[in-house]
């Protein structure tokens, strides 16, 4: 019954095969109902399903140890945890920037783990990512940065891509900066271009890895404002790794606390912040107050 996945160079994990979709959805529904502000609809399936995710580097450094998590359509999940707890590694596994060592990740009940390079390209279209360091093309304008994925990856024609890019740049408050190149923009503006670029691809899930950590404090607010708008008025599903506790509390449908490569605790923001159940969560939240 158990599928064997081999880590490189030694560690071997026995994880069960991915669960049957309907059964998994039922169990996830019962499990998450009281943990999230998401408006659950009877019979719905999670958009992201992570089962027994393991990630080991160099055959011995085990960074993710049996992560299990579901994310629902339109849900805003905020991931907190100390440095080195595996937050980035989990996000990078979800969009296959890292190859999971064992376990399963399913998007709309399709397993994305164990696919060929060609399939990975297709899958990644559904998983947008906003990085701490923006990752824009410095020689392209804001407009071109937001168009390029649409034309190259989605094969949209230029007029369509341009119209979408203008729309998304306006939505992040950069309608008057579309012809600027990244070096001519502030960090906060660059990050807003990166958000517009990700949204313009209309991914199923948008992943954010500490999107405001590289910004000066006065620029953080603008970027959080854009993310808040997207969360509250877009129909986007978001997984946000951040240290911005105000954002987590106000905008999160659910807060997930990770440490040591596992999900230690998760729940409604007010549950986790005001009444954390685990000592490690208490310690962490105490240390950042
Ligand atoms: N490519 C890699 N090779 C070896 N070890 C790695 C690699 N990437 C990450 N790690 C290790 O995995 C652990 C988790 O890293 P990760 O970046 O996921 O943590 P994090 O929770 O995002 O931390 P931070 O808050 O500092 O960003 C760390 O101990 C890190 O050194
Ligand atoms: Mg990180």
Residue 88 Cα to ligand 2 middle (Å): 4
* Residue percentage of the chain with pLDDT more than 70: 96
State the ligand closest to the CA atom of 209. 2
Contact 95 CB / ligand 1 (< 6 Å): no
- Give pLDDT, residue 13: 83
Task: Report the separation in Å between the CA atom of 209 and the middle of ligand 2, taken as the mean of its atom positions.
Answer: 7
> Which ligand 1 atom sits closest to the C-alpha of 90?
18
pLDDT tens digits along 161-174: 999 999 999 999 99
pLDDT band, very low/low/confident/very high, at 1 (cuts 50, 70, 90): very low
pLDDT for 88-105, tens place per residue? Answer: 999 999 999 999 999 999
User: What residue's CA is closest to ligand 1, atom 26?
Assistant: 83
Mean pLDDT of 239-264: 97
Q: Is 83 in the pocket of ligand 1 (CB under 6 A)?
A: yes
Which residues make beta-bridge pairs with 206?
Answer: 128, 238
Q: Is 8 in the pocket of ligand 1 (CB under 6 A)?
A: no
Is a pLDDT exceeding 90 seen at residue 3?
A: no
pLDDT of 205 higher than 90: yes
Return the best residue to mutate from 89, 95, 210 for the ligand 1 pocket (most ligand atoms within 8 A of CB): 89
CA of 261 to the centre of ligand 1 (A): 10
Give pLDDT, residue 10.
57
C-beta 261 within 6 A of ligand 1? no
**CA atoms of 243 and 65, how far apart (whole Å):** 22
The whole-number pLDDT of residue 8 equals 47
pLDDT category at 288 given cuts 50, 70, 90 is confident
Using only C-alpha atoms, the chain has a radius of gyration, in whole angstroms, of: 19
Q: What is the average pLDDT value for the chain, to the nearest integer?
A: 94
Is 87 a pocket residue for ligand 1 (Cβ < 6 Å)? yes
Q: Which ligand is nearest to the CA of 90?
A: 1
Ligand closest to Cα of 131 equals 2
- Tens digits of per-residue pLDDT, 147-159? 999 999 999 999 9
State residue 289's pLDDT score.
64
Q: Does ligand 1 lie within 6 Å of residue 94's CB atom?
A: no
Greater model confidence, 33 or 4: 33
pLDDT-wise least confident of 10-14, 52-56, 222-226, 232-236: 10-14
Per-residue pLDDT reduced to its tens digit, 59-82: 889 999 999 999 999 999 999 999
């Amino acid at each position: 019954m158990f599928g064997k996945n081999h880590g490189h160079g030694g560690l071997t994990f026995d994880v069960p095969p991915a669960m049957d979709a309907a059964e998994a959805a039922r169990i996830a529904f019962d499990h998450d109902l009281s943990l999230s502000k998401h408006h659950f609809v009877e019979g719905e399936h999670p958009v992201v399903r992570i089962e027994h995710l393991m990630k080991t580097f160099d055959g011995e450094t085990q960074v993710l140890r049996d992560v299990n998590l579901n994310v629902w359509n339109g849900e805003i999940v905020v991931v907190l945890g100390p440095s080195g707890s595996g937050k980035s590694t989990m996000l990078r596994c979800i969009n296959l920037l890292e190859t999971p060592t064992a376990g399963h990740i399913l998007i709309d009940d399709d397993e994305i783990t164990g696919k060929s390079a060609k399939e990975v390209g297709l899958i990644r279209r559904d998983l947008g990512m906003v990085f701490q360091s923006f990752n824009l093309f410095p020689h392209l304008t804001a407009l071109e940065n937001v168009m390029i994925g649409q034309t190259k990856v989605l094969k949209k024609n230029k007029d369509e891509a341009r119209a979408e890019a203008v729309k998304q740049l306006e939505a992040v408050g950069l309608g008057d900066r579309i012809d600027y190149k990244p070096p001519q923009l502030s960090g906060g503006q660059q990050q807003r271009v990166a958000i517009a670029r990700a949204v313009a691809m209309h991914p199923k899930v948008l992943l954010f890895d500490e999107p405001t950590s590289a910004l000066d404090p006065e620029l953080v607010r603008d970027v959080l404002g854009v993310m808040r708008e997207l969360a509250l008025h877009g129909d986007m599903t978001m997984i946000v790794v951040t240290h911005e506790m105000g954002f987590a509390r106000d905008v999160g449908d659910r807060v997930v606390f990770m440490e040591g490569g596992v999900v230690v605790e998760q729940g409604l923001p007010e549950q986790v912040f005001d009444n954390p159940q685990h000592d490690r969560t208490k310690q962490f939240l105490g240390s950042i107050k």
